[in-house]
Copies of this chain bind each other. A is one copy, B any other.
Amino acid sequence: MSDNEFELIESCFKGKGGHSSPFTRFAIGDDASIHHPRAGFDLVVSSDTSVEGVHWPVDFPRSRAADRAVCAALSDLAAMGADAVAVWVNVMAKDESSVRKMGKGVSSALKRYNVELVGGDTCRSPVNAIAVTVAGELPEGTAMRRDLARSDDNVWLSGKLGFHALGLQQWLHHQRDGEYVHHLEEITPLISAGIHLREMGVRCCIDVSDGLLQDAGHIAKASRIGIDIELLQLPNWIHMCRSVGRKAFYEAVLHGGEDYALLFTAPAEMEIPEALAVKIGCCREGSGVSVFRNGEPCEVEQRGFLHFG
């Protein structure tokens, strides 16, 4: 690494982001960051990559893309019910200006959620990309998981679906003032909701990053159950159907992804506050995800985003 790169790290990354956490003894500046985990707590760690032209359009602002990448990673912690304590970023950039822009986005996202940037690296690359690794804490043994749904649980959704996919369509069709475009610009990881759910005793949760159908399928497969979803229970369906048509709405909700809502299951007797989530279905014995519209079965295509299709 060159002096120039150290200067970039000093000016774009070191001390950026949220306040330092008791979890971290030493952040950026050595071969590794040094941490002291809390007794009685588990750590959860997620690591995800975003690549220009693959995860975001080439004409999308790089700072916003980096902001989104950080928030998407934080959403994984929300799905586990964890509080974020540290973030490492790897910035791959075509030029110094891209490093600075992505650094700005990283810093902005971490400030909003008050998470400390503790390490990572930056390097030259023929394509702009960013990998984000996040760590969160939660009381020992309480992490929400995909494999803990029961066949008599209800299925709930916290947050909204479809906005990102509709915004992306509008962006790609150069409708830059489209109704949904602003949903592209910022992801809201539901960290507080995740912690709340975990504290209430919810055991099974996932964040909807790959479309409702695929992510519900992950719960079904991991928990060895089936899931039934009622489309008319989805939040905002009336408004969105009117705005873009039923087909586009269902496409965006079922396959769109990247809204980072939380999909979770809970025993029927567990009371979930209305402000936190809506009930959109139930688990059952069996396997797979079935979709209903006003009680009638719908035929839906089973697919998500194809990376190596």
Q: How far is it, in angstroms, between the C-alpha of A147 and the C-alpha of B28 when the chains are bound?
A: 12
Among B33, B54, B89, B124, the residue within 8 A (CB) of A44 is: B33
List chain B residues, Cβ under 8 A from A135: 45
How many copies are assembled? 2
Within 8 A of B (CB), among A49-82: 49, 51, 53-55, 76-77, 79-80, 82
Chain B nearest CB from A158 CB (Å) reads: 14
Q: A30-B80, A42-B34, A80-B31 are in contact. Are A123 and B49 (CB under 8 A)?
A: yes
Among B126, B206, B304, the residue within 8 A (CB) of A127 is: B126
Q: A43-B43, A47-B131, A124-B308 are in contact. List 18 more A-B contacts (CB 8 A).
A: A2-B306, A4-B306, A30-B80, A32-B46, A33-B44, A33-B45, A33-B46, A34-B44, A39-B39, A47-B120, A47-B133, A49-B90, A49-B123, A51-B92, A51-B125, A54-B126, A126-B126, A133-B133
Interface residues of A (CB under 8 A from B): 1-5, 8, 25-26, 29-37, 39, 42-49, 51, 53-55, 76-77, 79-80, 82, 86, 88-90, 92-93, 95-96, 99, 118-127, 129, 131, 133-136, 140, 143, 145-147, 206-207, 209-210, 214, 222, 303-309
